[in-house]
Structure 1
Amino acid sequence: MSTPWRPLRHFVLKVHSRCDLACDHCYVFEHADQSWRGRPPAMSAATAARAAERIAEHAARHHLPRVGVVVHGGEPLLLGAARLDEILTILRATIGAVCELDLRMQTNGVRLTAATCAMLLRHEVRVGVSLDGGRAANDRHRRFRNGATSHPQTLRALALLREHRPLYAGILCTVDVANDPVGVYRALLAERPPAVDLLLPHATWDDPPSPGSAGAWLRAFHERWNDDGRPVPVRLFDSIRSLGRGGPTFTEAVGVDAGDVVVIETDGAWEEPDSMKTTRDGGGATGLTVHTASADEVAGTPAMRRRRGGLAVLSATCRACAVVHQCGGGLVAHRYRSANGFDNPSVYCDDLKELITVINEHPGPVGGDLGALPDDAFERLAHGYGDAAAVALLAEAELAVNRALVSEILGETASGGELLAELERAAPADFDAVLGHPFVRAWAVSCLDGKDAEPDRTAAIAAAVAVRAGVRADVQVHTHDGLLHLPTVGVFEAPAEQVHVTTGPAWCVLRWPGGRAEVPAGGGAGHVPGWHPARWVLLDGVRVQLEDADPYRDRLEFAAAGRLGAAAERDWADLLAGAWEQVGLDAPEQAAGMRRGLRAIVPLAPARDGTLRSATSRHAFGALGVAHTPDPAAAAVLLVHEFQHTKLGAVLDLIDLVPEEAAGDRLTVGWRPDPRPVEAALQGAYAHLGVADVWRHRAERDGDPAGRTLFRKYRDWTAEAIDDLLTGDRLTPAGTRFVAHMAATVHGWPG
């Protein structure tokens, strides 16, 4: 059976294999696998350099905009500040040269000093600390070898992190049902962490957890956290809530799409996540090292492919469960039984089900604070802008949503599923390009909602990936309304209900009963009767699709125009080139984000009265619908306006900014005659902030009184809406923060 494959994005680097504590619940030193005994205590600079090279080549090959590396142990601070500085320098120089590097460290904190904090700040490392609660709770397990408490030293480390706030990533707490959950909650919150991660003690069916209900413990913790207004993100809770809404998970502990973490040991050995050490001796070993194997080879091993197998690799009990899309079978290691491997539910199955039920009964914002967005990205977007890095995070999250939706549909139909899994392994960049096409999600949402959509479109998606990649494949694709549409590739006027698509490095052949057509390799230009390749425009080096064929582009608010002729295509290319130049002049703070997130322009049918017309869809990230106008400056305003909507829609997929209780509220806004729901008012304010900024730049550059008047009109509309949004309980805490940043931008503009 083929299972999905995709690039690795998270790496754990074991820089030291020993620890200065003797925690009796430690899965590295106290559980079944004892391979640490045969490994060097510290990672050498040469091994670190080779590991960095492997990660960098993987990121470059798969065009990853961002990877995460966690410096781990044992205890990483045992390495010493000088050697740790050397390794961090290697990681930054090597991996940072090809992509953004999210660099973190997990520590017990007992050796953290002010000087080490200064060094970590230079390398922009974010530090997580392990703490299980107050002193009595922490002392149950986290003691020195002589039995002495480590609690005072850990609190001292947390105080240092509060003094060096950019370092502070959060607290990792291992659950012990013998500890009072509310007492643990209070002790963790007292340390003012940016986030909390709750870890169920690692256990298997051969070595089950201690007696007592982890579900009841988690429920009590959640209830207190929920009653307090969710003052801090709790990654386990936020992941379950996000998964319940069709979003991504933020932890490997839950969800069916969480298999992108790999470990590099002190000797350079590639391994599965550390939790596998609880299963058996040698648990998690791949037999590969950074000295002999690439990250691609690791990702292709049976063990790593199993971790990415989705619903297909879960037990029959899990697949039949109503909450499987949130639970995902739990952590892989927790399913282990020596008699039958991993073909079992989690040993915490009942506990997870209890927690998921509680969370589903308390719908609300994902994240007590910012959910999946780092503070800096959240703030840049909230100010009304968002650079390339911030928009890249949104794009990654939206791609994850598309993947999850398509996977869910594949669970109901086999059409193209086997081929898609193979193509994901063989051509990940083309796979992501097709899955990331805006209207793949529009189709998937329509399909899952039971609207007019074809589940068998998965075959067309698979064929599109194969054509783009030029790999050998054969797939039978159904046509609809006489058309064979391959997303991002083109459309064929098919004379049959089914077309057999055969692809290879230099050909693409379409066959149907009584006929055939040869399409140029990659689906590109070339005169083939009935074949219309996808249209693209190049905007300052950015390739954007002029989408005039996708059948799901009609999910926008206004009707899409028909297919473009050659003359109309040239007109659009000229218009968009001029509009893009205007964006660079009039919205310079928006340009980099638009370059990263803009996927497609959909020509809309013009309004009968000649007014400007544009649209976006929450379910089509990166697609902007625009009706043609002869004025590039006017088109630039429309592009900025709609890109604001597409950004905010992606933010709302990650973080609830508006509480459900405000759903019935209505606000009067300047740009519409009818009162608007709170979320619609927020969308309008965010879009008009971008429009006001365009007119601000134009007025300042040209000194045009009319431009100044338009700037003031849009600014005042936005400011009034912001003031209303900040009144009462119309926003979640995260929403209040977001809109407060919008207010800071608007009120900071000169009159």
Structure 2
Amino acid sequence: MRAPIRMPGHWFDELAAGGGSVDAIGFLAKGERSRRLLLIGELLSRLEERPTLLGPADLGAVWRTVEQAEARKPGCAEELLLSPQVGSWLAHTLRRLHGSAVGPPLWVDAGHLAAVALVAALRAGTAADLVVPAREGAVSLPTLGLAQLPGTPLPGFQPVRARVREGELLLAPTVRGTGAIALTVRPLTAPQSAVWWPTHRLSIRPGGPEVALDDTDPYRDLDRPIPPRRLTVRELGAWQRLFTEAAALLDSGPTSVPGSGSGSGSGSGAGADATPDSGSTGPGTLRPEEVRRIVPWPGRLPNGPVEGLSASTADAFGSMVVAEPPNGAALAETMVHEFQHSKLGALLHLFAMLDDDRTEEHYAPWRPDPRHLPGLLHGAYAFVGVAGFWRDRIGDRAADPLDLAPFRFALRRIQTRTVLRTLATRATLTGPGRRLVAGLTRTVDGWLREPVDGRAVARARAAAAGHRAEWRLRHLRCADEERAGLAAALRSGTPLPPARPPRLVPAAERTHWQDVRGALYLRPDLAPDLAPDLAPVSVPSGARAPSGARAPSDVRAPSGVRAPSGVRQGAEPCRADVLLVHGEAASAREAYRQRWSDAPGDPHVLAGWLQAHTALHPGHRRLLARPERFAAAVAGEGPEVWERAAHLLARPVPLA
């Protein structure tokens, strides 16, 4: 019986601060190893009980191949088992066996174990004679690439005979007369050809480690199998250029720290700053080689952002699905963001952090939709990393030519602190969960004490307040009695009703939205008279997000969930938005009034008007705390009553 693994407390605290030393992250990998061994054991037990699940493959022959490879080259099979490719396949196949996932015929998913065994034999230089599944005549070899039988493609899912001798692989159809031709290839050394697509490798630095760029593995999406989509020469070149820029940026470490006046960093919070050579990383830093795989996602999300889409799964530690970013800094930020999710996913495999009732009712400042508590925890952990990344870029005009790092850092520290407060007060945390949230809170509270350019802070506060106000207008409603009382107070002068907890708008009544106003804070070059030309980029038909992709509607504009059917097409900012972002509050307020006639009932317009009004009347800022009360009071009325309603509702009101 294996002894339980125990994490030293100081490593947990490093991770709880949002960072983590090489040793701490190595311990997470050790935990993932234990988990993978348990999962492969469960799969083998299921296949022993029901050998027909493998179709024509023989479990005994498959596992003997793995054992022989491990005996010849110790660690070979285990390294393969820990790869993202095997992790994703293994978790998906177990979900298939449990009935909680869908896919091809079950023997294809289960039979992929034989392809794993083939790769072990190829890497160890041992022999193998197995039957593997082919998809449209193509056989996937996890971590190595994709082999395509020449001739007429085999239709659908077909078994293929595989023979390995001294690093050479022979694939042949099991049925004669199909038109498919046998293929011989040496996967470890063969260059790309029409019949062999090796897994791309991204070089971190000359002669150094590499990261897989995987466009062929059927399990590279977050759950369901998908077909290969080979990158073009141009796309591959772009990815290598972007990755080289991102890796150099991450390797260089922090450039400066707010208030320090130097690039060495003196930060606040646990594990605040470190250089790559120190053996320790603070929040927002990442050794590029800790990323195991990048999966390029080529499409765009209907009704979603056109760049910045990224996603990851706890089944594949160190792997991430990423849409091609605009520059190396954006890729570096995304790598940090997604690796934070990998770290927390691995921690959650070791420790229960909170009780989860899966109720989606909580506000996440980087999302358009209500979230459950585990989602809040994941978001807080990821965006502590993002905040730290931009904190380290302040003053680095090579990485940040528009000098937006102060704004990005200021925004993320505000937003993350909001979510940490929710977790501390609303979640039922376990002991490790309290320790994690406390560690993240210490980091962010330290950052909130750091001086940042005042204009950037003001813009960050405005962006955060605008997102929150619009989110509440879209997702929260006052109870009927309170709504009636608010309307009566405005029309008849009766006393204001006490504030009661709002109710959540049913999911069926929600519409997808994007924080297009918040995105303007990243456009310092935009003049108000250009606003009418801000049209959204068209979305190709059939574009699909990675299964489970995150898509927060935030100023970073990364991501969004697959848009629900029936949502309106991508919104665009209006002139009033640009005026507001430029600080022209009076003009913006009037522009929102005029906009109402074109878009009556639009929460975006109402939230913008409230933001402009409170900028002119700072004493009315309480309106932004409960904008749904304002919406209830003016429901059915025109904008001519808005200012009177604002003065009325800005008064202190007791809670019910």
**TM-score under structure 1 length normalisation:** 0.48
* Alignment partner of 1:553 out of 187, 195, 220: 220
Q: Does 1:657 find its partner at 2:312?
A: no
Residues 373/666 of structure 1: CA separation in 2 closer, same or farther (3 Å cut): farther
Find the aligned partners of 1:692 and 1:535 in 2 and give their Cα distance: 31
Q: Does 1:577 find its partner at 2:577?
A: no
How far the C-alpha of 1:458 sits from its partner, in A, is 0.8
Q: Contact 1:637 / 1:694 at 8 angstroms: preserved in 2?
A: yes
* Alignment partner of 1:724 out of 402, 422, 436: 422
Q: Contact 1:490 / 1:532 at 8 angstroms: preserved in 2?
A: yes
Q: Contact 1:391 / 1:593 at 8 angstroms: preserved in 2?
A: no
Find the aligned partners of 2:427 and 2:311 in 1 and give their Cα distance: 29
Aligned length: 383
Q: Contact 1:535 / 1:545 at 8 angstroms: preserved in 2?
A: yes
Residues 699/606 of structure 1: CA separation in 2 closer, same or farther (3 Å cut): farther
* Alignment partner of 1:534 out of 186, 199, 202: 199
Q: Does 1:699 find its partner at 2:397?
A: no
- Residue identity in the other structure for 1:392: G
Unaligned runs of 5+ in 1: 1-238, 240-248, 252-370
Q: What secondary structure is seen at the aligned counterpart in 2 of 1:551?
A: coil
* Alignment partner of 2:121 out of 459, 466, 482: 466
Residues 387/596 of structure 1: CA separation in 2 closer, same or farther (3 Å cut): farther
Find the aligned partners of 2:165 and 2:218 in 1 and give their Cα distance: 26
Residues 557/676 of structure 1: CA separation in 2 closer, same or farther (3 Å cut): farther
How far the C-alpha of 1:529 sits from its partner, in A, is 4.0
Residues 596/636 of structure 1: CA separation in 2 closer, same or farther (3 Å cut): closer
Q: Contact 2:250 / 2:287 at 8 angstroms: preserved in 1?
A: no
- Residue identity in the other structure for 1:650: A
Find the aligned partners of 1:558 and 1:694 in 2 and give their Cα distance: 33
* Alignment partner of 1:647 out of 343, 348, 357: 343
* Alignment partner of 1:394 out of 28, 38, 42: 28
Find the aligned partners of 1:612 and 1:526 in 2 and give their Cα distance: 32
How far the C-alpha of 1:682 sits from its partner, in A, is 0.8
Residues 631/601 of structure 1: CA separation in 2 closer, same or farther (3 Å cut): same
Q: What pairs up with 1:619-638 in 2 under 5 angstroms? A: 619-638=315-334
Find the aligned partners of 1:716 and 1:728 in 2 and give their Cα distance: 18
Q: What pairs up with 1:600-611 in 2 under 5 angstroms? A: 600-607=293-300, 609-611=305-307
How far the C-alpha of 1:400 sits from its partner, in A, is 2.4
* Alignment partner of 2:90 out of 444, 450, 455: 444
How far the C-alpha of 1:507 sits from its partner, in A, is 2.6
Q: What pairs up with 1:72-83 in 2 under 5 angstroms? A: none
In the alignment, what sits opposite 2:185? 519
Q: What secondary structure is seen at the aligned counterpart in 1 of 2:182?
A: strand
Q: Deviations over 1:96-137 (max 9, x none)?
A: xxxxxxxxxxxxxxxxxxxxxxxxxxxxxxxxxxxxxxxxxx
Q: Deviations over 1:545-595 (max 9, x none)?
A: 101111111226998982113332222111111111122345653688544
Residues 493/478 of structure 1: CA separation in 2 closer, same or farther (3 Å cut): same
Q: Does 1:418 find its partner at 2:57?
A: no
- Residue identity in the other structure for 2:115: A
Find the aligned partners of 1:532 and 1:456 in 2 and give their Cα distance: 21
How far the C-alpha of 1:611 sits from its partner, in A, is 2.8
Pairwise CA RMSD? 2.7
Find the aligned partners of 1:581 and 1:439 in 2 and give their Cα distance: 26
How far the C-alpha of 1:686 sits from its partner, in A, is 0.7
User: Which is bigger in relative contact order (C-alpha 8 A, separation at least 6)?
Assistant: 2
Comparing 641-650 with 522-531, greater Cα deviation is found at 522-531
Q: Contact 2:338 / 2:382 at 8 angstroms: preserved in 1?
A: yes
How far the C-alpha of 1:534 sits from its partner, in A, is 1.5
Q: What secondary structure is seen at the aligned counterpart in 2 of 1:484?
A: strand
How far the C-alpha of 1:665 sits from its partner, in A, is 6.9
- Residue identity in the other structure for 2:308: L
Residues 663/516 of structure 1: CA separation in 2 closer, same or farther (3 Å cut): closer
Q: Contact 2:204 / 2:247 at 8 angstroms: preserved in 1?
A: yes
Q: Deviations over 1:181-213 (max 9, x none)?
A: xxxxxxxxxxxxxxxxxxxxxxxxxxxxxxxxx
Q: Contact 1:557 / 1:616 at 8 angstroms: preserved in 2?
A: no
How far the C-alpha of 1:729 sits from its partner, in A, is 4.6
Q: What pairs up with 1:398-409 in 2 under 5 angstroms? A: 398-409=32-43
Residues 617/388 of structure 1: CA separation in 2 closer, same or farther (3 Å cut): same
- Residue identity in the other structure for 2:15: L
How far the C-alpha of 1:632 sits from its partner, in A, is 0.8
* Alignment partner of 2:436 out of 724, 738, 744: 738
In the alignment, what sits opposite 1:710? 408
Find the aligned partners of 1:557 and 1:697 in 2 and give their Cα distance: 37
- Residue identity in the other structure for 1:458: L
Q: What secondary structure is seen at the aligned counterpart in 1 of 2:92?
A: helix
Q: Deviations over 1:316-367 (max 9, x none)?
A: xxxxxxxxxxxxxxxxxxxxxxxxxxxxxxxxxxxxxxxxxxxxxxxxxxxx
Q: Deviations over 1:284-307 (max 9, x none)?
A: xxxxxxxxxxxxxxxxxxxxxxxx
How far the C-alpha of 1:527 sits from its partner, in A, is 5.4
Comparing 507-516 with 609-618, greater Cα deviation is found at 507-516
Residues 512/710 of structure 1: CA separation in 2 closer, same or farther (3 Å cut): same
Find the aligned partners of 2:64 and 2:202 in 1 and give their Cα distance: 33
In the alignment, what sits opposite 1:188? none
How far the C-alpha of 1:666 sits from its partner, in A, is 3.7
Q: Deviations over 1:151-196 (max 9, x none)?
A: xxxxxxxxxxxxxxxxxxxxxxxxxxxxxxxxxxxxxxxxxxxxxx
In the alignment, what sits opposite 1:565? 232
* Alignment partner of 1:427 out of 61, 70, 73: 73
**TM-score under structure 2 length normalisation:** 0.55
- Residue identity in the other structure for 1:438: P
Residues 705/523 of structure 1: CA separation in 2 closer, same or farther (3 Å cut): closer
Find the aligned partners of 2:227 and 2:10 in 1 and give their Cα distance: 37
Q: Does 1:688 find its partner at 2:393?
A: no
Q: What pairs up with 1:319-398 in 2 under 5 angstroms? A: 372-398=6-32
In the alignment, what sits opposite 2:561? none
How far the C-alpha of 1:438 sits from its partner, in A, is 1.2
Find the aligned partners of 1:692 and 1:557 in 2 and give their Cα distance: 32
Q: Contact 2:307 / 2:324 at 8 angstroms: preserved in 1?
A: no
Q: Contact 2:160 / 2:172 at 8 angstroms: preserved in 1?
A: yes
Find the aligned partners of 2:44 and 2:196 in 1 and give their Cα distance: 28
In the alignment, what sits opposite 2:514? none
Q: What secondary structure is seen at the aligned counterpart in 2 of 1:449?
A: helix
Q: Contact 1:556 / 1:625 at 8 angstroms: preserved in 2?
A: no
Q: Contact 2:387 / 2:408 at 8 angstroms: preserved in 1?
A: yes
Find the aligned partners of 2:403 and 2:227 in 1 and give their Cα distance: 35
Q: What pairs up with 1:185-196 in 2 under 5 angstroms? A: none
How far the C-alpha of 1:528 sits from its partner, in A, is 5.1
Find the aligned partners of 1:613 and 1:639 in 2 and give their Cα distance: 12
Find the aligned partners of 2:339 and 2:38 in 1 and give their Cα distance: 24
Find the aligned partners of 2:190 and 2:25 in 1 and give their Cα distance: 31
Q: Contact 1:561 / 1:605 at 8 angstroms: preserved in 2?
A: no
Q: Does 1:508 find its partner at 2:201?
A: no
Q: Contact 1:558 / 1:605 at 8 angstroms: preserved in 2?
A: no
